[in-house]
Amino acid sequence: MTSSDPHAATMTGEEHAAPAVEIGSVLASRYEVLSVLGAGAMGTVLRVHDRELDETLALKVLHTHAHGDVARDARALDRFRQEVKLARRVTHKNVARTFELGESGGLRFITMELVEGESLARLIERRKALPPNEAVPLLAGICDGLAAAHAASVIHRDIKPENVLIETTGRVVVTDFGIAKQHDPGDASRTQQIVGTPFYMAPEQVEGIAATPRSDLYALGVVAYEMLVGEPPWSGGTVAQVAFRRLFEPPPDPRLKKRELSDALASAVMKCMARQPADRFDSALAVRDALVHSIRASVAPQPAP
C-alpha cells in the first residue's frame, strides 16, 4: 500500500523501531501476514489475509520508540488513533479506506483498503517527467481526494508521491493520514514541532505555523512540478536546507526545465507553490479546474486564418 520513501524523514526529532513481524504469522487470530509492502516513520505496512472475511487487506503496524520511551510511545499511539478517526471521516474513491484500529500481542495496528498498483513515486522513478496529458489526470485524482478530505475538515499535511497510489485500473488513491489533523479555521498558532516531509512541506509548515488546506495545495504543487519536470523544484544540500530555501526563494518556473509546458499549466503549478497561502488557489477543486483547463487550452483548435 505504501513504499519506502527516500525523503521520508518527518521533522519531528523522534526515532522509532519497527516491530518484528514474521511472514506467515497471524495477528489478532485473524490477519495472516503475507508480505511487507513498505515502511515509513511511524509504521510498517503489511499485506495480510483476513481469514474471517477471506479478503486481502493492508495492515499498518505502529512502530514503538527506539529507546523504549513510554511517554513518546503513548503520544505515538494517540497519533495512531487520530489517524484512524480522521481517515474514516473521508469517504471518496480517491482516498484509501480505513477500517479499524486493533491490537495483537502488544502491537497496535490499523487495517486499510489494499490498493493493487504502484506509488506515484515509483512511476516518477521509472518514467521521470510525465507528459502533461498523463500527469494532469493523475493530479486531478489527487485534487478530488484532497477536496473530499478538506470538505470533512481534514488536512493531510504530508502529500507527496509516496502517499499517492495508482491502482492497476488507473484509479488515483491518496493514502497515509498518519500526521493529518482536523482543520480549525481560527488556529493560526505555532506548533511545537515541524511536521511533514521537508521536500514537500509548505513554508508555513517549515516555520512551525499551523497548517491549513492551502498547505496541502502547496505540497500538491511540488508534486505536480516533480511529475512534469522529473525532479523536485528544490534539491541539494541537507534536508533542512532544502526545506528552508522555500522561505526565501520564489517558486521555480517548470518551463525553465521543460520549455514545452504551456503557460497556463506552468502558472497553475507555480500558483500552488506561492510563498503566501493567500496567493494560492482557494481550493483543491480550483486547482483541478485550472489544470484541466490548461490541457484543454493546449489542444484547442486554432481559428482559421
Write down the catalytic residue from 5, 144, 158, 216. 158
Q: What value does the mean pLDDT take over residues 270-292?
A: 97
Instruction: Answer whether residue 172 shows pLDDT above 50.
Output: yes
Task: Give the pLDDT of residue 18.
Answer: 59
Neighbours of 35 (CB within 10 A): 8
Three-class secondary structure assignment of 52-74: CCCEEEEEEEECEECCCCHHHHH
Residues 41-47: contacts with CB under 8 Å, at least 24 apart: 41/8, 41/9, 41/10, 41/12, 41/16, 41/178, 42/16, 42/76, 42/79, 42/80, 42/178, 42/179, 43/80, 43/110, 43/178, 44/18, 44/19, 45/1, 45/2, 46/21, 47/1, 47/114
The pLDDT confidence band at residue 223, using thresholds 50, 70 and 90, is very high
DSSP letter assigned to residue 40: -
DSSP letter assigned to residue 190: B
Instruction: Answer whether residue 6 shows pLDDT above 50.
Output: no
Task: Give the pLDDT of residue 188.
Answer: 59
Bridge partners (DSSP) of residue 104 are: 107
DSSP letter assigned to residue 95: B
**pLDDT cut 70: percent of the chain above it:** 84
Distance of CA 76 to the CA centre of its chain: 19
Neighbours of 199 (CB within 10 A): 23
Instruction: Answer whether residue 99 shows pLDDT above 60.
Output: yes
The pLDDT confidence band at residue 2, using thresholds 50, 70 and 90, is very low
C-alpha cell at 230: 522529473
Q: Where is average pLDDT lowest: 47-61, 144-158, 291-305? A: 291-305
Dihedral sign computed on CA atoms, order 211, 213, 219, 225? negative
b/e map 134-165, b = 16+ CB within 10 Å:
ebbebbbbbbbbbbbbbebebbbbbbbbbbbb
Instruction: Answer whether residue 227 shows pLDDT above 90.
Output: yes
Q: What value does the mean pLDDT take over residues 86-105?
A: 92
Q: What value does the mean pLDDT take over residues 128-132?
A: 95
Q: 469517504: which residue's cell?
A: 91
Which stretch of DSSP H or E encloses residue 33?
strand 31-39
By DSSP bridging, strand 31-39 and strand 26-27 are antiparallel
Q: Where is average pLDDT lowest: 73-77, 94-98, 198-202, 258-262? A: 73-77
Q: Where is average pLDDT lowest: 31-45, 126-140, 158-172, 277-291? A: 31-45
Q: What value does the mean pLDDT take over residues 280-294?
A: 97
Which stretch of DSSP H or E encloses residue 46?
strand 43-50
Asked if 5 is an active-site residue, the reply is: no
For the stretch 267-278, pLDDT in tens is 999 999 999 999
Instruction: Answer whether residue 302 shows pLDDT above 60.
Output: no
Task: Give the pLDDT of residue 264.
Answer: 96
C-alpha cell at 183: 482543520
C-alpha cell at 100: 479499524
The better pLDDT of the pair 19, 120 is held by: 120
Q: Where is average pLDDT lowest: 150-164, 177-191, 286-300? A: 177-191
Please tell me the distance from the alpha carbon of residue 92 to that of residue 270, in angstroms, as a whole number. 27
For the stretch 22-78, pLDDT in tens is 899 999 999 999 999 988 767 899 999 999 999 999 999 988 755 455 456 677 778
Task: Give the pLDDT of residue 78.
Answer: 80
Which stretch of DSSP H or E encloses residue 295?
helix 284-299
Q: Who contacts 73 (Cβ-Cβ below 8 Å, separation ≥6)?
A: 64, 65
**pLDDT cut 90: percent of the chain above it:** 60
